[in-house]
């Protein structure tokens, strides 16, 4: 579901009965074929209300039609597909550059990650507890995942945007559901960067705490797994994913209602070290992939 806060003046905020309607561009990936879908629809004129419009995807073989509902609640706009709340619908003002809404991945993501981890470790030393049920530790645990997800997202999406070889490998990954997409020549002419944009949009829609999928993407795109090779370390990393979900959504309890009581400061430091190892592995894999690509571009030496 997408949302946008209307940019209106202070005086206009006082009028809660009527606001001028305007055109808005809606965009999403078709949940049936994963082709882009976009259209210009009218927003509700009331302060609280909704409008409905039909949007078709750009599948040249069989276009799918979807009902998009734009809802305004006290000036805030949201949009969703009828019967498909799982689909992310973005809202854009026509003519406004795309990167105004979706900032590009941060450059120098690894340096940002290292600085954030140093600050995080200092905080663990200051407020971390040996009590595995401590709410402070759960907060630090969730914060650790935020740092890692930001690094993985910026690094992988950033590489996919600029490197065609990475894009080719992303297209092969079954979980991204991109490899069987078909585009008409008319669509390619109208949007020459559509493949790159589809990959970017798809990657922006995944959860980078899904470490199994992230590892598959890295193995495909850069030729190397980034999960720890040691069995117990790998198990600790993968088990932390569901633990993160419980901390974020269940206040630290699992589905059976049991409190996670092992999130001690020692656990946090150990997990952080494993994440730092994954980041190092990703940086090394990307560098090695670049070297191989460069060597391959040189071709075979000419025989004398």
The tens digit of pLDDT for each residue in 122-173 reads 999 999 989 988 999 999 999 999 999 999 999 999 998 888 888 888 888 8
Q: What is the pLDDT of residue 304?
A: 42
Res. 221: pLDDT tops 50: yes
Res. 301: pLDDT tops 60: no
Distances (CA, A) of 273 to 244, 251, 276: 17, 24, 5
Q: Rounded to whole angstroms, how far apart are CA atoms 63 and 30? A: 9
Task: Name the pLDDT band for 244 (thresholds 50, 70, 90).
Answer: very high
Q: Rounded to whole angstroms, how far apart are CA atoms 188 and 249? A: 42
Cα 256 off chain centre by: 29
Closest alpha carbon to 220 in 167, 183, 150: 167
Q: Which two tokens stand for residue 13?
A: 């905020």
Q: What is the pLDDT of residue 235?
A: 96
> Using an 8 Å Cβ cutoff, are 59 and 33 in contact?
yes
- Quickly count helices (H) and strands (E) in the chain: 9, 7
Task: Name the pLDDT band for 20 (thresholds 50, 70, 90).
Answer: very low
The 3-state DSSP composition of the chain as helix, strand, coil percent (nearest 5) reads 50, 15, 35
Closest alpha carbon to 69 in 150, 154, 2, 165: 2
> Using an 8 Å Cβ cutoff, are 200 and 234 in contact?
no
Res. 239: pLDDT tops 50: yes
Between residues 59 and 52, the one the model is more confident about = 52
């Amino acid at each position: 579901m997408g949302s946008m806060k209307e940019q209106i003046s202070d005086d206009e905020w006082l009028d809660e009965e009527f606001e001028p309607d305007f055109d808005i561009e809606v965009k999403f990936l078709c949940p049936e074929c994963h082709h882009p879908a976009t259209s210009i629809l009218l927003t509700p004129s009331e302060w609280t209300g909704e409008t409905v419009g039909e949007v078709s995807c750009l599948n040249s073989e069989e276009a799918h039609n979807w009902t998009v509902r734009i809802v305004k609640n006290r000036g805030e706009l949201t949009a969703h597909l009828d019967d498909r709340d799982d689909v992310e619908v973005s809202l854009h003002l026509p003519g406004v550059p795309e990167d105004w809404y979706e900032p590009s991945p941060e450059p120098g993501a690894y340096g940002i990650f290292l600085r954030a981890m140093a600050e995080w470790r200092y905080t663990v030393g200051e407020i971390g507890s040996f009590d595995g049920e401590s709410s402070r530790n759960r907060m630090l645990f969730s914060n650790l995942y935020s740092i890692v997800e930001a690094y993985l997202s910026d690094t992988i999406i950033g590489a996919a945007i600029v490197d065609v070889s990475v894009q080719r490998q992303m297209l092969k990954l079954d979980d991204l559901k991109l490899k069987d997409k078909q585009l008409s020549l008319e669509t390619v002419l109208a949007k020459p960067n559509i493949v790159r944009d589809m990959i970017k949009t798809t990657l922006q829609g995944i959860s980078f705490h899904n470490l199994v999928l992230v590892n598959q993407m890295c193995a495909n795109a850069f030729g190397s797994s980034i999960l720890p090779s040691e069995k117990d370390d790998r198990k600790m990393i993968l088990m932390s994913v569901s633990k993160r979900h419980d901390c974020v959504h269940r206040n630290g309890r699992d589905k059976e209602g049991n409190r996670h009581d092992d999130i001690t400061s020692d656990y946090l430091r150990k997990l952080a070290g494993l994440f730092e190892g994954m980041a190092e592995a990703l940086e090394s894999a990307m560098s090695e992939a670049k070297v191989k690509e460069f060597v391959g571009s040189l071709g075979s030496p000419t025989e004398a």
